[in-house]
Structure 1
Amino acid sequence: MLRNIRPRIPRPPTRRIRAALLASAVSVCLIAASAPSPATPLGIGDRLFPHLGNPGYDVQSYDLAFTYPGANDKPLAAVTTIDALTFSRLERINLDYAHGKVQSVEVNGQRAAFTSAGPDLVVTPAKPLPLGSRMHVVVHHTSDPVTAEDQDGGWVRTKDGLAMANQADAAHLVFPCNDHPSDKAMFTFHVTAPDGYTAVANGLPAGADRSSRSTTWTYRTLHPMATELAQVSIGRSSVLHRSGPHGLPVRDVVPTKDAKKLEPWLKKTPDQIAWMEGKVGRYPFETYGLLMAEAQTGFELETQTLSLFEKELFTEPAYPKWYVESIMVHELSHQWFGDSVSPRAWSDLWLNEGHATWYEALYAEEKAHKPMEERMRAAYRASDSWRDAGGPPAAPKEPAPGQKISIFRPSVYDGAALVLYALRQKIGRSAFELLERTWVSAHRDDVASTDDFVALATAVAGRDLSGFFQAWLYDKKTPPMPGHEDWKSDPPKARKGA
């Protein structure tokens, strides 16, 4: 996600993830086995969002069916089907789901009891699920758009329909799920909309069934995806097709009336993909494209294979051409950093946004002669203030109450890109570029942590970098910049209430 940018295959979890989930699940199940207890919200203990994600199971796939009523302020009828593997004996199944009405739940073909507990839908199957068993859950529910005043993610109302913005951990405002990026899964979407509307989702099209008054579109991903990256667009849209490197299918979703006006921007994507491939290797997914929505979001979003953009970014003449193109590359680079390689925990967010900001700045340097060093020096001057306000890059402060997206602070954008700049200064350009390519290759379609990045960087550099990373990622003050020891950071300004 890029906030305030303008003036204005399913693979099993890694052994480490399985161990962490199992340890959490065992403690829950020991309590459940001793005596019945009231339904409570659980969580996997993420430092920033402790009640999101759920222990005891690993989702393999989601099948989501939405029926759009023709008005973006009305609930959508929805059916969510989840296939998962249990890590422990489960007497209850906690799903993240907090906005909509549940009509019924089935577990392995049998009706199940359910109730709400905080942000969780707590399901009690007819009989407990043993460790290592398959779990097939079907939830009939509504999927409710929220008002602009209450917007904290989920469905975004556009001028002509809806789109999704599920970061951070807001997919459970749209459908029941294990809403944490550490549990990636395959997705299938079925979206029914009245005549005159077009629906598009992550992945590749898998058919369109037309009736007398509506059409149901089906899309499937070919790679696992985090819930926060799910995307469904419903609108009076056109889908424009072109080819990218190696014959990669590129498809863009734009308001039909604006297709011709937006084409000069859209045709830039194949060359941008080729540029990124030259930096970090082959594009990691089955397709890519831009979703240009008529909505006021204040951000762009790297939803997997179909990045969400405000149309205004491309139509407002005040934004320089080089700037718009660098923002396009920011979201594109997330397909490698954040989407293909997803964060193990939300504290690892700097790995997503720092890298996206890095390639945004590198593109501007190479294509528009905007020196990286100047941007990094400016970031260094502000970095102590950013750390004071939002925490160091790998230990961001908790979000403000009711404002999940407040974790997207400068410290994890330019502040984190500054860490990468310091690392390149420390280990040299060749080793840094090898590290980048190795990182996205070694963790493709998986999740990875800050510790994983530190370990890989140490291996590639052939020397101990633990002290370097400890200072740059976790200290309250910004360390000296290698090769630029004369750079100074301005002292933080006193904050109100401090």
Structure 2
Amino acid sequence: MEPRTRAALGAVAALLLLAGCTSTADGGGVDIGGVEGTPGAAGLRDPYFPKLGNGGYDVTHYALDLAYDPRSGRLDGTAMITARAAQDLSAFNLDLAGLAVDSAVVDGDPASVNRAGTELTLRPRADIGKGEVFRTTIEYSGVPRTITDADGSKEGWLRTRDGAVALGEPAGSMAWFPGNHHPSDKATYDVTLTVPQGTQAVSNGVRTSERTANGRTTSVWHSAEPMASYLATVAVGQYRTKVSATPSGLPVLTAADPSVAAKSDPLLARIPELLAWQEENFGPYPFSATGAIVERTGDAGYALETQTRPFFPLDSLTVEILVHELAHQWYGNSVTPADWKDMWLNEGFAVYAEWLYAEDFENVPAQVNFEAAFATDANWDFPPADPPSAENLFDPPVYQRGAMVLHKIRQQVGDDTFYEILAGWAAKHRHGNASTADFTAYAEEVAGEDLGEVWDVWLYGDGKPKRP
């Protein structure tokens, strides 16, 4: 995510906690499969969003079939969710905010549905055995919700002049599809989007087909690599799209609102060049497509690293932020945090990518940016690996002090070993999840030395050290 001030995420946290405070009647259900299951947990007890995500199963694939009318704002959706049970399940939960559930089916049989806040509890006709793959189909509809954080920033489903864009960090994806909305449960995606003829619809991954009939255009998007749900996006509008390829054949698709296309074109044209430079530093690009979505200034208050196709309002489309969001494709998107507490592994790495770009292309050593960050009081409000609350997940220490941690590693181990750590970390956890503890252990393993002083002072230390 683009560095920005988010003084509070309290409204989102309250929304998620509400799900655990509302009681409903048991939905019943008859066990006819010979398995005596128990309900999956209604949350994963994330330190910041304890009700976000759900226990008892692992989603492997989402197939979302969505029809959107920009004039009315109505979304009609079918979510087909393939998952594997991690325990014997008598019931399980999905996260969904606002939209009405029209029907629910598990493995071909109707399932009872109870709702409490943002939690859907589904009780299948037969209990599901541990290790079994099961398929859930939810039909839902309504006008998707825009979630407003306490600082005024917005996520979820954002209406634009001619359509909408869906942004999901940290909790907005539950505003437009039901799922297991925690970064630890990644899945592949197929998204089918139907919109009025003359309107474009864009999502993550590769567009595999597009057809127009009876006044409506339907496009199909495939994400072959696992994706955390907060990185999923759809964008609907009268975009000017461009399709090209990198020299290695990687497909590039960009979509820009016509009013900002001319201004955005020069930077978007640099995506292949910037990716080539990042591959030199971070290793092979981890996905099968790339590109960007650009909207008008004001359509959102920040850029976001939506997987393979980062999103930018025009005022956020600078070379530094483009470098930042593209770097997230390695750090955050391919290697995804195990918990929201590990957010510095996303943002600290992406900020350091900006410092490396300045070093290589603008003759500004990373040390200069380090010293500027060191001198900024806001970067010392808390340790980057230990934000005090959900309200602080996107505060300056996570970004700038996170980057300072990487610079101190570089100073201690030298450039050769440091770049080995950068690329090796992305390779070791490619398409997976990892924690801060995983990173500190890995860095010491590659360095062959104790980096405890870096962790104690820069990653976990309270207060500002006397000198850099």
Partner of 1:358: 352
* Contact 2:67/2:194 (<8 A) preserved: yes
Give the secondary-structure state (helix, strand or coil) at the position aligned to 1:335: coil
TM-score (norm 2): 0.88
Q: Letter of the aligned partner of 1:145 in structure 2?
A: P
Partner of 2:30: none
Partner of 1:396: 387
Partner of 2:55: 55
1:377-396 map, 5 Å:
377-382=371-376, 385-388=378-381, 391-396=382-387
Within 2, Cα distance between the matches of 1:462 and 1:96? 43
Judged with a 3 Å threshold, the aligned counterparts in structure 2 of structure 1 residues 471 and 260 are, in CA distance, closer, same or farther, namely: closer
Partner of 2:235: 233
Residue 295 of structure 1 deviates from its aligned partner by: 5.0
* Contact 2:291/2:308 (<8 A) preserved: yes
1:70-469 map, 5 Å:
70-71=70-71, 74-142=73-141, 144-147=143-146, 152-294=154-296, 296=298, 297-314=300-317, 324-382=318-376, 385-388=378-381, 391-400=382-391, 406-469=392-455
Higher relative contact order (CA 8 A, sep 6+): 2
Partner of 1:11: none
* Contact 2:63/2:190 (<8 A) preserved: yes
Residue 53 of structure 1 deviates from its aligned partner by: 1.2
Question: CA deviation digits over 1:218-262, x for unaligned, max 9?
Answer: 000120100000011111012202222412111101123543443
* Contact 2:297/2:313 (<8 A) preserved: yes
* Contact 1:91/1:128 (<8 A) preserved: yes
* Contact 1:95/1:178 (<8 A) preserved: yes
Q: Letter of the aligned partner of 1:58 in structure 2?
A: D
Q: Letter of the aligned partner of 2:195 in structure 1?
A: A
Residue 42 of structure 1 deviates from its aligned partner by: 1.8
Q: Letter of the aligned partner of 1:299 in structure 2?
A: Y
* Contact 2:112/2:124 (<8 A) preserved: yes
TM-score (norm 1): 0.83
Higher helix proportion, which one? Answer: 1
Within 1, Cα distance between the matches of 2:192 and 2:396? 37
* Contact 1:393/1:416 (<8 A) preserved: yes
Question: CA deviation digits over 1:371-427, x for unaligned, max 9?
Answer: 3222211211235x4343xx3111112124xxxxx5200011011001111111111
Judged with a 3 Å threshold, the aligned counterparts in structure 2 of structure 1 residues 357 and 61 are, in CA distance, closer, same or farther, namely: same
Within 2, Cα distance between the matches of 1:347 and 1:149? 21
Residue 290 of structure 1 deviates from its aligned partner by: 1.2
Q: Letter of the aligned partner of 1:70 in structure 2?
A: P
Within 2, Cα distance between the matches of 1:105 and 1:455? 44
* Contact 1:431/1:460 (<8 A) preserved: yes
Question: CA deviation digits over 1:10-45, x for unaligned, max 9?
Answer: xxxxxxxxxxxxxxxxxxxxxxxxx999x9972111
* Contact 1:144/1:174 (<8 A) preserved: no
Partner of 1:29: none
* Contact 1:192/1:214 (<8 A) preserved: yes
Give the secondary-structure state (helix, strand or coil) at the position aligned to 2:99: coil
Residue 278 of structure 1 deviates from its aligned partner by: 1.2
| Count of paired positions | 436
Q: Letter of the aligned partner of 2:69 in structure 1?
A: P
* Contact 1:41/1:118 (<8 A) preserved: no
Residue 468 of structure 1 deviates from its aligned partner by: 3.0
Moved more, 151-160 or 233-242: 151-160
Q: Letter of the aligned partner of 2:343 in structure 1?
A: L
Q: Letter of the aligned partner of 2:333 in structure 1?
A: D
Within 2, Cα distance between the matches of 1:291 and 1:143? 25
Residue 216 of structure 1 deviates from its aligned partner by: 1.1
Moved more, 295-304 or 432-441: 295-304
Question: CA deviation digits over 1:138-179, x for unaligned, max 9?
Answer: 001125333586764211222221111100132112111000
Residue 109 of structure 1 deviates from its aligned partner by: 0.5
Within 2, Cα distance between the matches of 1:239 and 1:205? 12
Residue 269 of structure 1 deviates from its aligned partner by: 1.1
- Identity over the aligned pairs, expressed in percent? 36
- What is the alpha-carbon root mean square deviation over aligned residues? 2.3
Residue 122 of structure 1 deviates from its aligned partner by: 0.7
